[in-house]
């Protein structure tokens, strides 16, 4: 974290969405000895592209590569500059908040991204300043630092706006899924129940799905078909 290794005054924050089967969840860090909760984020190295920095951070937290990632907003309010919080985090982890770490107390404009991953593929990893990195349901988040609640709200808003246009569900589900599982993703993101017949008719008429064999797990006549997204769509 030397001050000459990173671009000053620029950071990134990631809202990492995962679908647990019935809930939409977000990865949240808890800083060591502080009871301060935050979105996973970081800084951009002097010799690094912004997108590469974000992907590096995501891989460190999730162990995954090649996941869906989208930049959705830049946050630069004066109110987000609260150096006393960063000072508390540094000192709780044994770092001197003066000297070469003083740059971390400066004002930062943060570029926000959201990522979409399959919940089952991840074993969350805390960073060197954190005690934990855990999944929390979006309606059961702990109190987040700075403007991170606003970042989450904007990420959810953007996710909902993109739901049909970009079919974000493809990154929250396995390669093949049932219509019920797809509907559960939509309902978790929208925060509302959908009528099964209306949803199924809409999805089948969209020409975005490929139907495969049935998923047998019991009585054959009740086995649902499996679907996947058309890769060229």
The CATH number assigned to the domain holding 105 equals: 3.90.79.10
Domain membership of residue 104 (yes or no) is yes
Residue among 158, 225, 149, 221 nearest 189 (CA): 158
Lowest model confidence (mean pLDDT) among 33-37, 49-53, 97-101, 128-132: 97-101
Counted domains in the chain: 2
| Mean pLDDT, rounded, for 110-122 | 88
CATH code for the domain in which residue 210 is found: 1.10.10.10
pLDDT value for 66? 78
pLDDT band at 221 (very low <50, low <70, confident <90, very high): low
Same domain for 178 and 110 = no
Average pLDDT of the chain, as a whole number: 87
Q: In the block, which residue shows the tokens 């109110």? A: 79
- Give pLDDT tens digits for 2-26: 667 899 999 999 999 988 777 889 9
| Mean pLDDT, rounded, for 74-89 | 93
Bridge pairing between strands 209-214 and 130-137: unpaired
The residue segments making up the domain with residue 188 are: 174-229
Domain membership of residue 1 (yes or no) is no
């Amino acid at each position: 974290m030397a001050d000459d290794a990173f671009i000053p005054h620029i950071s990134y924050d990631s809202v990492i969405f995962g679908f647990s089967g019935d809930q939409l969840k977000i990865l949240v860090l808890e800083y060591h000895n502080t009871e301060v909760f935050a979105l996973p984020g970081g800084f951009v190295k002097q010799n690094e592209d912004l997108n590469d920095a974000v992907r590096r951070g995501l891989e460190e937290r999730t162990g995954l590569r090649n996941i869906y990632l989208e930049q959705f907003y830049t946050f630069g309010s004066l109110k987000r500059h609260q150096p006393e919080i960063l000072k508390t985090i540094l000192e709780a982890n044994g770092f001197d908040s003066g000297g070469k770490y003083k740059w971390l107390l400066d004002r930062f404009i943060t570029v926000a991204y959201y990522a979409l991953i399959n919940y089952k593929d991840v074993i969350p990893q805390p960073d060197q300043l954190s005690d934990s990195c855990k999944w929390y349901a979006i309606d059961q988040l702990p109190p987040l630092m700075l403007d991170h609640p606003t970042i989450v709200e904007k990420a959810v808003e953007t996710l909902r706006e993109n739901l049909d246009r970009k079919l974000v569900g493809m990154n929250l589900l396995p390669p093949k899924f049932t219509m019920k599982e797809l509907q559960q993703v939509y309902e978790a993101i929208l925060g509302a129940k959908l009528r099964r017949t209306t949803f199924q008719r809409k999805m089948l008429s969209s020409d975005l799905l490929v139907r495969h064999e049935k998923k047998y797990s019991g009585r054959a006549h009740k086995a649902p078909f499996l679907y996947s997204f058309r890769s060229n769509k």
